């Protein structure tokens, strides 16, 4: 790989994650193993470290590139199955979970995956080859209203209707099978001064839809509560407003003893806080880190402790 992913907020992630050096920890989004290898350095010989990734290429790379011990488990699995994977491997409780929601370099830098609008390739966008639906399936088969919906909801794109209609017109004469074809359609239907942002939003929307990213994130967050030991930490690094909104709301809800509407005179929900926030505001990358690693510029780190 020509451009290995540089881990974002590395020092801060480890600082907030490790509560005991001999515990069981999960890197739920392994990638190229940047956080995983640094985390291993902060744990002792009695600790267990589990790494998950939906991309089998990431697992293969880490097995060959990292120093893997018998106490390190690398497992090909989407972190949607976090709870099941931990149970299946004999770890029903863990002492820390890290989720870095950034795009893996294995996906982003490989034109054959179709994640980037800067390289031509098949319109795929799947994190894992085991997924059945591709971005090409969506743009060629989904109804107009469904395309408008995902471009609006997942891309927050103001020109959702215009671009969706252009896609539908194009596919009536020729299937849209490559990123270059899609880029051409978007360029013809968005102002040139906004084109990069529009391309980013449409590609993001398709990628989220293909991989069910928001649904997967919500399940992983909810499942984490049942496997975190009391005192264990969860750290999540987000990169765009949609996923950060989900994480922020999850932390807010699960750190509250009551989630009733404000107009209720007394509590009726009987909800009990499961988490204690470790910071009031998210940790952001420094200017120096952003200069060294442009992919860090939109990152936000949130962390909490299991009660």
pLDDT in tens, 22-53: 999 999 999 999 999 999 999 999 999 999 99
Contact 57, 80 (CB under 8 A): no
DSSP 8-state assignment for residue 288: H
Over 60: is that where the pLDDT of 195 sits? Answer: yes
**CA geometry: angle 39, 61, 54, nearest 5 deg:** 80
**76 contact partners, CB below 8 Å, separation of at least 6:** 52, 53, 54, 56, 59
97 vs 95: CA distance, rounded Å? 7
Average pLDDT of span 172-185: 98
Residue 222 lies in a domain: yes
Instruction: Kindly report the CATH number assigned to the domain that includes residue 250.
Output: 3.40.50.150
* Residue 265 pLDDT: 85
101 vs 268: CA distance, rounded Å? 35
The pTM is what? 0.94
Q: Closest Cα to residue 114, out of 138, 91, 96, 92?
A: 138
Question: Do 221 and 245 belong together in one domain?
Answer: yes
Question: Do 94 and 167 belong together in one domain?
Answer: no
Over residues 115-160, the pLDDT tens digits come to 999 999 999 999 999 999 999 999 999 999 999 999 999 999 999 9
What distance, in Å, lies between the first and last C-alpha atoms of the chain?
Answer: 41
184 vs 188: CA distance, rounded Å? 6
Over 90: is that where the pLDDT of 264 sits? Answer: no
Environment class of 95 (CB within 10 Å of its CB; exposed 0-12, middle 13-18, buried 19+): buried
Contact 88, 75 (CB under 8 A): no
Instruction: Kindly report the CATH number assigned to the domain that includes residue 200.
Output: 1.10.150.170
Mean pLDDT score of the chain: 95
235 vs 10: CA distance, rounded Å? 11
**154 contact partners, CB below 8 Å, separation of at least 6:** 204, 205, 208, 209, 214, 242
Average pLDDT of span 60-87: 94
Question: Do 101 and 183 belong together in one domain?
Answer: no
Residue 289 lies in a domain: yes
Over 90: is that where the pLDDT of 69 sits? Answer: no
* Residue 105 pLDDT: 73
- Higher per-residue confidence, 295 vs 178: 178
* Residue 4 pLDDT: 54
70 vs 95: CA distance, rounded Å? 18
Question: Do 154 and 302 belong together in one domain?
Answer: no
Where a domain ends, among 164, 187, 211? Answer: 211
Q: Which domain holds residue 218?
A: 10-106+213-306
């Amino acid at each position: 790989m020509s451009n290995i992913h540089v881990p974002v907020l590395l020092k801060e992630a480890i600082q907030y994650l490790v509560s005991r050096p001999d515990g069981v920890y999960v890197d739920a989004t392994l990638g190229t193993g940047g956080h995983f290898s640094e985390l291993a350095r902060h744990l002792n010989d009695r600790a267990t470290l589990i790494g998950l990734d939906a991309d089998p290429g990431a697992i293969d790379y880490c097995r060959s590139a990292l120093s893997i011990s018998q106490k390190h488990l690398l497992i090909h699995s989407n972190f949607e199955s976090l709870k099941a994977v931990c149970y299946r491997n004999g770890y029903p409780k863990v002492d820390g979970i890290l989720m870095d929601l950034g795009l893996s370099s294995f996906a982003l830098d490989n034109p054959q995956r179709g994640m980037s609008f800067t390289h031509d390739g098949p319109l795929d966008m799947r994190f894992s080859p085991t997924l059945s639906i591709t971005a090409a399936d969506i743009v060629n088969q989904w109804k107009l209203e469904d395309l408008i919906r995902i471009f609006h909801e997942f891309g927050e794109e103001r020109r959702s209707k215009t671009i969706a209609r252009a896609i539908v017109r194009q596919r009536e004469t020729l299937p849209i099978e490559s990123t270059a074809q899609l880029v051409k359609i978007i360029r013809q239907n968005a102002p040139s001064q906004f084109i990069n942002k529009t391309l980013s939003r449409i590609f993001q929307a398709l990628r989220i839809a293909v991989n069910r990213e928001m649904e997967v994130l919500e399940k992983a967050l909810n499942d984490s509560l049942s496997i975190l030991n009391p005192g264990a930490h969860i750290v999540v690094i987000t990169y765009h407003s949609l996923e950060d909104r989900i994480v922020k709301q999850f932390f807010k809800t699960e750190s509250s003893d009551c989630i009733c509407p404000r107009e209720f005179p007394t509590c009726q929900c009987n909800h009990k806080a499961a988490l204690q926030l470790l910071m009031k505001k998210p940790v952001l990358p420094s200017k120096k880190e952003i200069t060294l690693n442009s992919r860090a510029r939109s990152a936000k780190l949130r962390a909490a402790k299991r009660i």
